[in-house]
Amino acid sequence: MAQELEQEPAPLAPQQPTKPWIRFWARYFDYLSHAIFISILWILIDFDSFLQINDNLLGFILLVAFVFLDALYMYFWGTTPGKKLLNIKVLDADGTRMPKSLAFKRARLVWLRGMGLGVGILEIIANIIGYRRLKKEGITSWDQELGLQVIHGKIGIFRMLLTPFIVVLLLGIAVYGMI
């Protein structure tokens, strides 16, 4: 009788088809939109210091800020603006939002393994490795290591086309701003 009262942990959601490109567009939507937002704030606060900062240092600062913001979004809402736009949630093994420590660990692992620390060729290699692993095994190394589940909801064609367009537009704005 006592064994019957013990509650088993909730099973993970059934394996869904992997959607690496949807995840890619969500991540870069988040990164670029936040980079531009933070840059605009910086310009409004201290234009001269923004003009004087080294581009590599600025990129590093923006990426670290992105990692921090990504973790906060995941902790509070279980998603980020880009993931929300593309109807993606990342949940703990029991189907709830992840605790703060796990959200920050995931953000650091995504930065390291998924974005190659934002360093040119390392970022390209990290994206290729992440893509291949996700297609082959159905889960990224960081989500598997942390016992997380990624839930993809349905998205319409409008959102599916709008997000890459916005990412390319934001990238154009960022590049144009550097020239």
Q: pLDDT (tens digit, 9 = 90+) per residue, 8-54?
A: 444 444 456 778 999 999 998 999 889 889 988 999 999 999 999 99
Distance (Å, whole) CA 72 – CA 100: 8
- Which of 113, 25, 27 lies closest to 66, judged by CA? 27
pLDDT tier at 178, thresholds 50, 70, 90: low
Report the mean per-residue pLDDT for the chain. Answer: 87
Looking at residue 15, its pLDDT comes to: 52
pLDDT tier at 175, thresholds 50, 70, 90: confident
Residue 118, sorted as left (phi over 0), alpha (psi -120 to 50) or beta, turns out to be: left
Helix, strand, or coil (residue 154): coil
pTM score of the predicted model: 0.80
